[in-house]
Structure 1
Amino acid sequence: MAQENRNQNVIDLIADSFEPATPNLLRQMFNAAGARAPEVIWSPTDIEIRNPLLREFAAVCRVLAREDGSLPDTDINLDHFGELKEWIMMIEPVEGETDFVYTYYGSGIAQHYGRDMTGQRSSQFTGHIGTFITSLYGAMLERGEIAYTEHEPPQNVFVRAWQRYIVPRVDDTGKTTGFLALNVPENELRAGLELMIDPVMVVSQNEKIVYANRAAQTMFNLPSIRKDEAFNQATGMSLDVNRTPLEMLAQHRIEDSVQLTIRDTIVERLVMTVSAAQYKDTAYYVVVLRLIGT
């Protein structure tokens, strides 16, 4: 009951909030978790939507909308959104409860978050994130307005911030029955690593993979790295470093080693370069792999 009251308090604050002011309870909730306060903008203009993918999504939604601008709750062909499909979420309220279920959860979101939330509830996000997201959807049910939001995820999610454009879906009576949303990650470090030709992995101090670029996923036949998968289990190689990421960062250390890996029954030689980088106040190993022969 206490948690339901807390959620309702946050719902009320979000429902009444307009930028740039952020309700104190919402701010305190995120600050206590070491994150900056989230941003919520109701009925945003294109100028206020800072991400080009969100603007593209908004434009497609306007094409699919009825004459009054509302998005129908009838079946929507997600193929209309092209490559944006992997960042789309579909959300519906759970009847009789202050909770919401994800009926569609894009593969890109699942890979970045480390978990597919299809069929799961918004309240299953732990801590302040579950309270915020569930309360936000509750406020949207009350307001029936489009919302743009930006918030920081927990420390263990390799994303600097999630940016969302959430559109209510309504029935013929004008009642909001669910939401269609685009949820994209904003991450300067990740974007740079994704452009690299060589396989790159970001690994935590306890040698768990938190990110692998497309080249790494292809090399090790891992279309979607599971969150917290062990480096040696995923690659068959040992990380083989004697310093913590923080020590390597402080000492500007870079370590090279030659490793052997087996792909398609062929033994290949790789140069593995391990350095360190800081991200959201945490130091990580950055592992770059270069094929040098068989």
Structure 2
Amino acid sequence: MRDPARVGLRRQAVRTRVGPVVLHVGDRRDDGPALVLLHGAAGSWTTWTPLLLAAASEGRPLANVVVLDLPGWGESPLPDRPLSNGRTALSIDAYAGAVRDAVAALGHRSWTLMGHSMGGLIALHLAASEPARTESVVVVSPTGPSVLEAARHPVRSLRREPAFVGLRAAMGAFSRGGAAASVLLRALDRMHVLRPVVAPLFARPADIPPGVASALSREVRPQAFSIAARLAARYDPDRWMDITAPVRVVRGSRDAFSAEADDGRLARLLPGSTLSVLPTAGHFAHLEAPFAVLDRLG
């Protein structure tokens, strides 16, 4: 679903430290914190529509919703101020700063953060950087220690994280194709070959509507994904130990990226956090089990 009005949102563009960012803002607003939804490296704001629809269907539409297209995804371009050596000006801190700038532009002084995959990493980083402004954090299959290690040492991690290593290699190849990569992805979608490619991301691939694979092919940004993977390789998750807000971790029992082995490591990095494992979900729990994820918001 690409029409924001159908889920009670309106499009808005704001200027941030890394350039323009497009976001979608909920019509319902009160004096509480912003609810900031951050998508993963294979998505855009549209990946949160099942969660928003679930909230509306239960008669509890969410207040102060801010759904971003992170820099380089959706309608938000990559930074318009590259460094002198031609490399991108992005960093994990810059992603978090762009989120901070966007929320501040809307007049919010505090926030609840919900992030998926890479968006979960950014949410945790922002919560650690801005403890006084962060009310709570919910992360869905966050990019955790195992994937961060695989980003640093892909060959060594191939057996442990084959899905991520394979996806990173594919995105790296596509990113070298420039604009032609998007054309090729759309062509592969029309040939109906993308569904088996994305199937490992879901617990029950046969139950996923065909449009989901098409949506993922439209939203994937190989260059932005490759940049994010390089940044992840340099990221130190120990900074999450500075988070003071309550943190809820959600993952599917058949998550191709967030392995069970990470549960203990995340518990160490996020003291006092709670973990929910959803048996009906894979990596995209907010798509596969939106009501269960919604319940974790409290």
TM-score, normalised via structure 1 length: 0.28
Please say which structure displays the higher CA radius of gyration. 1
More strand by share: 1
More helix by share: 2
TM-score, normalised via structure 2 length: 0.28
